[in-house]
Amino acid sequence: MPDAAPASIAALDRHGIAARIARDIPEGWYVNLGIGIPTLVAEHVPPEREVVFHSENGVLGVGPSPPGAVDPWLINAGKQPVTLRPGGSFVHHADSFAIIRGGHLDLCVLGAFEVAENGDIANWATTKNDAAAAVGGAMDLAAGARQLWVGMEHTTKDGAPRLVAHCSYPLTALGAVRRVYTNLAVLDVTPRGFVVLEMVRGLGFEQLQARTGARLFRPE
Amino acid sequence: MIDKFVGSMAEAMAGIRDGSVVLLGGFGMVGQPDALIDGLIAHGAKDLTVVANNAGVGHTGLARLMELRRVRRIICSFPRSAGSLVFEALYSAGEIELEIVPQGTLAERIRAGGAGIPAFFTPTAVGTRLAEGKEQREIDGRTYVLESALAGDVALIEAWRADRFGNLTYRASARNFNPIMAMAGRLTIVQTQHAIVAGGLHPEVIVTPGIFVDRVLHVPYAVPADKGGRNA
């Protein structure tokens, strides 16, 4: 597990972050999961809790990747083979993004390079000069879902904070993020800034602050 | 008698001109009209503007079309992916123009192109560099970007089943951009896995009605062995 934190801090691995996010998704929600840690969330929602996963390429009711026989015509946004759950359906691309942009999704979970204290998110291009970066559906998802959560590592591999006062990477959307789940903490984005809801065992508030590029607040 | 089936690839491609805007269905490889893209390569049209979600992988299909320098400009949401080597080489050499469009905006621009809507306001990309230079307007307290419709001179479509009227169904997530591109193409050409007798498609399951389709080529392409019995 790549983690810059000392061993005494019970930092979560990628599946740990995904499982923590899954705990907060209630039955009946329609949810889009982005590529990376968010994709893992589906594995941690118990099958008896009915959550309908949407994939931007026009699939409602995405199920897990099939163990054996694969249907080459049924893939998810990451272009991996998937299955369709009972009650699933297919729509064309304009309707799929009407679902996204029209505010019909209860939740979208995305990965990110950076999240700013005002909810700005940067998750598609790593440099200002990369004119050929692939945006895909990221901007539509960030602007359209009724709420946006981010699942990501708290810092970069080099220890630089990903929760920041202002994003330095090219933006995906303004003021869109509602909540951030990292390997170290769960934080809400509020008008005050980042409010720390939870920290992993062995981690103190000041230690978390030291790993964060924006001011942290305790819940009121 | 209306019969939109054509008997050969040459017939399917007839009349596609240099400089055309070509809409290519598909999301990655799924729903991509591979046979028609090969037909377009053989046809030889050049100086094309291609609208597709991705910019091709490997050295076949769209990547091959680009490698042959037939594509002047590509409009897509996800140009860079594993295997997009031809695009990357051409782009870094300045030999292809690129317009990156957020995927939902791309879909809606195409939808609008087939629906007689010249432009629309969307919240997507506000405050990002993909909105730079575009008209913005505040509506009910939220800022939106003006985006223009995108129609094609030609649309190349992959269907699952088709009848002689050009009515189409699609298979699973291979639907993706195909129905809206069929609507937005001035000349819409379809390859279909299955040719169905007229009346054989139930009206309630037709996804693309034949009014949006000009030509259909029956291309029974390979079905992986492990899908036995499901290709109906």
A75/B27 touch (CB, cutoff 8 Å), yes or no: yes
pLDDT of residue A7: 57
Q: What percent of chain A has pLDDT over 70?
A: 97
pLDDT digits (tens, 9 = 90+) for A69-80: 788 899 999 888
| Residues A8, B146: Cα–Cα separation, whole Å | 52
| Residues B51, B177: Cα–Cα separation, whole Å | 10
Here the tokens at position A181 are 């789940």
* Structure ipTM over 0.85, yes or no: yes
Domain regions of chain B by residue span: 5-134+143-227
Instruction: Give the β-pairing of B152-162 and B185-195.
Output: parallel
Residue B120, Cβ density class (10 Å: 0-12 exposed, 13-18 middle, ≥19 buried)? middle
Domain regions of chain A by residue span: 14-217
Here the tokens at position B31 are 């729903």
Residue A86, Cβ density class (10 Å: 0-12 exposed, 13-18 middle, ≥19 buried)? exposed
A73/B31 touch (CB, cutoff 8 Å), yes or no: yes
B130 CB near a chain A CB, below 8 Å? yes
- Asked whether residue A2 carries a pLDDT value surpassing 70, the answer given is no
Q: Which residues of B63-89 are buried (b: 16+ CB within 10 A; e: fewer)?
A: bbbbbeebbbebbbbbbbbeebebbbe
Query: What residues have CB less than 8 Å from A140, skipping those under 6 apart?
Result: A56, A97, A100, A101, B102, B103, B104, B105, B124
pLDDT of residue A128: 73
Q: How far is CA A146 from CA A107, A119, A177, A185, B140, in A?
A: 6, 14, 10, 23, 17
**Amino acid letter for position B207:** V
Asked if A25 and A50 touch (Cβ cutoff 8 Å), the reply is: no
Q: What percent of chain B has pLDDT over 90?
A: 91
Banded model confidence at residue B186, pLDDT cuts 50, 70, 90 = very high
- 3-state SS, one letter per residue, for B34-51: HHHHHHHHHHCCCCEEEE
B128/A55 touch (CB, cutoff 8 Å), yes or no: no
pLDDT of residue B226: 32
- Asked whether residue A4 carries a pLDDT value surpassing 60, the answer given is no
Residue A11, Cβ density class (10 Å: 0-12 exposed, 13-18 middle, ≥19 buried)? buried
pLDDT of residue B228: 32
pLDDT of residue B224: 35
A143/B126 touch (CB, cutoff 8 Å), yes or no: yes
The architecture in CATH of the region A14-217 reads 3-Layer(aba) Sandwich (3.40)
| Residues B209, B189: Cα–Cα separation, whole Å | 13
pTM: 0.94
Asked if A73 and B30 touch (Cβ cutoff 8 Å), the reply is: yes
Which residue of chain B has the CA closest to A98?
B104
Query: Which among A22, A40, A89 has a CA at the least distance from the CA of A61?
Result: A89
DSSP H or E segment with residue A96:
helix A93-101
B172 CB near a chain A CB, below 8 Å? yes
- Asked whether residue A6 carries a pLDDT value surpassing 90, the answer given is no
Q: How far is CA B119 from CA B104, B187, B230, in A?
A: 14, 21, 41
- Asked whether residue A200 carries a pLDDT value surpassing 50, the answer given is yes
Query: Which among A102, A90, A70 has a CA at the least distance from the CA of B176?
Result: A90
Using an 8 Å CB-CB cutoff, list chain B residues near A132: 79-80, 87-88, 91, 98, 100
CA B41 to chain A, closest CA, distance in angstroms equals: 24
Using an 8 Å CB-CB cutoff, list chain B residues near A101: 104, 108, 122-124
pLDDT of residue A1: 46
Asked if A47 and A71 touch (Cβ cutoff 8 Å), the reply is: no
Q: What is the CATH number of domain B5-134+143-227?
A: 3.40.1080.10
